[in-house]
Amino acid sequence: MNLSTSVPIELDTGGTAWMLMSATLVLMMTVPALALFYGGMTRSRGVLNMMMMAFGVVAVVGVIYPLWGWSMSYSSSIGGIFGNPFEGFGLSGVAVGPDGGYLLDDVGVPMFVGVAFQSTFAIITTALIAGAIADRVKYSTWLVFTALWVTASYFPMAHMVWGGGLLSGDGPFASIAEPIDFAGGTVVHINAGIAGLVLALVVGKRIGFGTRPMRPHNLPLVMIGAALLWIGWFGFNAGSAFTADGVAGLAWVNTTAATAAAILGWLVTERIRDGHMTSLGAASGTVAGLVAITPAAGALNPVTSIVLGLVAGAVCALAVSLKYKWKFDDSLDVVGVHLVGGLVGTVLIGVLADDTGLIFGHGFAQLAVQVIIAVVAMVYSGVVTLVIALVLKKAMGWRVSKDEEVSGIDTAEHAESAYEGIGTGTLLGATEK
């Protein structure tokens, strides 16, 4: 995803149109897709708050990204960790040349289009974290966290992987093998998954977690959200080719194959373990497959993508139940799907990649470097998130009051309810509204 500011001879109008569409598809992944997916998975008294968390991320990151987000991601490196935030502040000199003309990247697409595309990645990554802390946090604290986290964790990670930093082909680990993260296994999913785990631990469990059923209140919304995520993901993965070419086509096919296989892997695991194949499992398997193929979409072939999807679906289906065994309240399975799925996809590149993978006789180098970048991403994101979470816990507080959580976070935080009669505190207990 590293873009050059060199000026090619001609504008590629086809590539530009594809990238504008891809940016739009990725924005759709947050609103409405993730808002519907997460909103349906919450209890009915928290659906508006969850949707508002997604909309809040769009608002905060949408302002921050053109100010210093792009510059921190793609400007001159500071220690291989982040770009100079002042070099391209406000996109100064980034997208418009000295003569007033629009600068193009090295495939003939205007830099402004690249900025648009990359901003949607920052948005969806931050929004994913919200699912780990559903139903119990102050909205104002969430908005401040969004600004701090995208600045201190997402932008540096994007720079390290795609902007020529520590985890890129220009970094020290490239001496082993060039790290591969086609569309965001480390930058997006491991980054957000670790952040979700840290926040779940710092914020604490929902009242009644482990003793009351906390089922999704609207499974049709979950399935609609998952379907929209799948559609949007073609912009996410195929768009990461940065033009309309054969690599984009390969990424599209691999994304579909892996996702379909992951659904089957999840459903078969459910059938063996629980005796049923559920709609929630199908929706979750969809996302697990999309997550796993994200870093690998340009490095695998359709057959190995199916293998990756089957593994990811089964492993993530098993992983989501660990929160009950280990007693942490990852409300909507951000850890089990995004962290675990991101790790599966990132690491298995070292096994399955066509040109460098172990299975095709290319040795252990790619596998070693994929493990290294995954570990570094986890440590960096985990430490940064922990510091931010603890500072905000002391400065603002994370939790709404117990009474507000019990009566319903929608009414407490937004003075609204999604459904008539919800939020009065009279529909709790066995029905878990």
Using one digit for the tens of pLDDT, what is the confidence trace for 182-223? 999 999 999 999 999 999 999 999 999 989 989 999 999 999
Q: In sequence order, which residues have a C-beta less than 8 Å from that of residue 325 and are 6 or more positions away?
A: none
> CA quadruple 402, 406, 407, 411: dihedral positive or negative?
positive
Mean pLDDT over 281-287 rounds to: 98
Question: What are the phi and psi torsion angles at 49 (to 5°)?
Answer: -60, -45
Q: What is the mean pLDDT of the chain?
A: 94
pLDDT surpasses 70 at 424: no
What six digits make up the tokens of 388?
């931010």
What is the percentage of the chain residues whose pLDDT exceeds 90? 91
**Predicted local distance difference test score (pLDDT) of residue 97:** 83
Selection from 222, 178, 144 nearest residue 370 by Cα: 178
CA 73 to chain centre: 16
In the block, tokens 């906390």 appear at 214
Question: What's the predicted TM-score (pTM) here?
Answer: 0.95
What six digits make up the tokens of 118?
């990359």
CA end-to-end span of the chain:
43
What six digits make up the tokens of 162?
């795609």
pLDDT surpasses 60 at 143: yes
CA distance 40 to 216: 6
**Predicted local distance difference test score (pLDDT) of residue 433:** 46
Mean pLDDT over 135-143 rounds to: 98
113-136 pLDDT per residue, tens: 999 999 999 999 999 999 999 999
pLDDT band at 9 (very low <50, low <70, confident <90, very high): low
Mean pLDDT over 164-170 rounds to: 97
**Predicted local distance difference test score (pLDDT) of residue 423:** 58
239-269 pLDDT per residue, tens: 999 999 999 999 999 999 999 999 999 999 9
**Predicted local distance difference test score (pLDDT) of residue 6:** 46
Mean pLDDT over 400-422 rounds to: 93
Mean pLDDT over 61-89 rounds to: 98
Q: Between vectors from CA 195 to CA 178 and to CA 36, what angle results, nearest 5°? A: 105
Provide the strand spans (E) within 37-179: 77-78, 82-83
Domains of the chain: 13-409 (1.10.3430.10)
Mean pLDDT over 136-150 rounds to: 98
CA distance 410 to 15: 43
